[in-house]
């Protein structure tokens, strides 16, 4: 199993309904994680037969190419690379490459490649190793020929793991602005808008560099970790036209009141580029994208569909309550009880359904005000508990909210679960969620109540998932 701390989740004090819902909830997360494993996604998307490479509905004759290069970065990129390599070894084409992956990612040593260099870099703040690896990727680009194929493997975390700051901006400057952005409450789309305009790799600049180097074929295989699966925002879109502008980046800094806090080199670059259109990132219809092919091979929707199928087999009535959850975790958590109640009242009272499942996907944000340990899903659930403690809950429920890459925020948890038992324990033991909310210390709260979920890094990365399970009325 991916979840390592099940022994503390399935305890003797749970009643029959609570135990049942926890089992279904944990099984659902296991199903979700299996469905978005990079190996599975690559194998479904790519085939080689008679030296012809098939990707979804497109075909490439490998006899027309001299060599394959593999570059990219992200939390899922290691398994993507190894799976792609297993497919390429059955062809006659030569290949090599380098990828940036997170430090501490657990990799099966038996499948390590001698042709694809693994470069470990930091996340969520970029470091020197990431910069060195990205520069090596650009050196590969500079030495390609028109008869080469470059696979760019992109997954969540790529924005941080693939740093290449503009001239005049130091790595330290980049680290500083990333820290400011992550603590500001800005959405991932807004954060990546700024990242794209400070990078020579992101925001379509990889495609631009390749176009002016050799014009070789660029194939990006992408696993989405952003709401709406917007390709220009996933890892800040290195091979995708950028739909944002320098002015947007400046407006975002002002919106979150960090314009006067960012390094001088960053402001100097942004202000200068606003007045010089030729420095803008490449837009749609730019010639640099003529030989670029972007394929979305995985997202949280894949996981949600697998959970849907599993829950229907368990006789649950399943409904998506949102596929684009965004906003402040604290605020969403305070609204979740009302969202849940409206759905439940209709289903339980009018349709006399005994088991209901609600699925939501997206990504919330946290404006950091304290120095605690936690993450966006845990913060959201903590806010939910602060709201529900004064409510009359007449049904059995379970909510699981997780970051499917296995780690969220500065905690070691992927998220947490809450149910009637957690609510009762919180009240009986007089544990005040508001205290933990004030210091952004959600993980400490869930540690006390033993309902955090621990997997370690899973190697996959898609959007977050919220699962709500409801069963029959208590004492009915």
The pLDDT tens digits for 423-451 are 999 999 999 999 999 999 999 999 999 99
> Does the predicted model carry a pTM greater than 0.85?
no
Please, where in the chain does CATH 3.40.1480.10 lie? Answer: 6-36+300-473
pLDDT of 343 strictly over 80: no
Of 61-75, 91-105, 428-442, the range with the lowest mean pLDDT is 91-105
In terms of CATH architecture, what is 6-36+300-473?
3-Layer(aba) Sandwich (3.40)
Q: What confidence category does residue 111 fall into, taking pLDDT thresholds of 50, 70 and 90? A: low
Q: For residue 158, what pLDDT is reported?
A: 93
The pLDDT tens digits for 122-169 are 988 999 999 999 999 999 999 999 999 999 999 988 999 999 999 999
R_g of the chain, CA atoms, integer Å: 23
Say which residues have a Cβ less than 8 Å from residue 110's Cβ, sequence separation at least 6.
none
Domain 39-164+199-244+281-298 has CATH 3.40.50.10180: yes
User: Going by DSSP bridges, is the β-strand pair 415-419/452-453 parallel, antiparallel, or unpaired?
Assistant: antiparallel
Q: For residue 38, what pLDDT is reported?
A: 93
Please, where in the chain does CATH 3.40.50.10180 lie? Answer: 39-164+199-244+281-298
The pLDDT tens digits for 23-45 are 999 999 999 999 999 999 999 99
Q: For residue 476, what pLDDT is reported?
A: 42
Of 158-162, 177-181, 182-186, 392-396, the range with the lowest mean pLDDT is 392-396
Nearest to 300 by CA among 238, 388, 362, 257: 362
State what percent of residues in the chain have pLDDT above 90. 81
Q: For residue 97, what pLDDT is reported?
A: 96
For the stretch 282-319, what's the b/e string if a residue is b when 16 or more beta carbons lie within 10 angstroms of its beta carbon? beeebebbebbbbbbbbbbbbbbebbbebbeeeebebe
């Amino acid at each position: 199993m991916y979840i390592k701390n099940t022994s503390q989740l399935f305890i003797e004090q749970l009643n029959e309904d609570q135990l049942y819902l926890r089992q279904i909830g944990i099984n659902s997360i296991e199903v979700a994680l299996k469905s978005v494993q990079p190996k599975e996604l690559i194998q479904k998307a790519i085939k080689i037969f008679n030296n012809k490479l098939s990707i979804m509905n497109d075909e490439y004759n490998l006899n027309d190419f001299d060599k394959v290069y593999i570059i990219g970065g992200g939390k899922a990129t290691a398994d993507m690379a190894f799976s792609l390599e297993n497919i390429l070894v059955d062809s006659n084409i030569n290949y090599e490459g380098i990828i940036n992956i997170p430090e501490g990612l657990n990799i099966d040593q038996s499948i390590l490649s001698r042709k694809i260099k693994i470069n470990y870099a930091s996340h969520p703040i970029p470091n020197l190793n990431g910069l060195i690896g990205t520069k090596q990727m650009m050196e590969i680009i500079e030495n390609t020929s028109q008869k080469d194929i470059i696979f760019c493997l992109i997954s969540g975390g790529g924005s941080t793991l693939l740093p290449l700051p503009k001239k005049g901006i130091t790595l330290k400057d980049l680290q500083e602005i990333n820290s400011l952005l992550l603590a500001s409450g800005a959405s991932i789309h807004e954060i990546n808008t700024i990242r794209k305009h400070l990078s020579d790799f992101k925001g379509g600049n990889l495609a631009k560099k390749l176009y002016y180097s050799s014009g070789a074929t660029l194939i990006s295989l992408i696993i989405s970790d952003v709401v709406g699966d917007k390709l220009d925002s996933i890892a800040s879109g290195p091979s995708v036209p950028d739909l944002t502008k320098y002015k947007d980046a400046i407006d975002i800094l002002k919106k979150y009141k960090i314009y006067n806090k960012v390094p001088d080199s960053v402001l100097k670059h942004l202000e200068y580029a606003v007045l010089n259109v030729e420095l803008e990132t490449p837009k749609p219809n730019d010639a640099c994208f003529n030989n670029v092919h972007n394929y979305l091979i995985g997202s949280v929707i894949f996981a949600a569909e697998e959970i849907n199928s599993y829950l229907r087999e368990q006789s649950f009535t399943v409904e998506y309550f949102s596929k684009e959850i965004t906003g402040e975790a604290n605020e969403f958590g305070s609204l979740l009880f009302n969202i849940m109640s409206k759905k439940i009242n209709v289903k339980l009272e009018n349709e006399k359904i005994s088991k209901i499942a609600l699925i939501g996907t997206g990504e919330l944000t946290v404006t950091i005000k304290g120095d605690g340990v936690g993450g966006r899903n845990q913060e959201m659930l903590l806010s939910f508990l602060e709201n529900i403690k004064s409510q009359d809950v007449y049904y059995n429920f379970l909510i699981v909210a997780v970051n499917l890459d296995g780690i969220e925020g500065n905690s070691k948890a992927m998220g947490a679960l809450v149910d009637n038992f957690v609510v009762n324990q919180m009240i009986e033991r007089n544990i005040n969620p508001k205290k933990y909310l004030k210091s952004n210390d959600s993980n400490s709260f869930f540690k006390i109540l033993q309902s955090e979920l621990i997997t370690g890094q899973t190697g996959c990365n898609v959007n977050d998932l919220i699962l709500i399970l409801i069963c029959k009325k208590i004492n009915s």
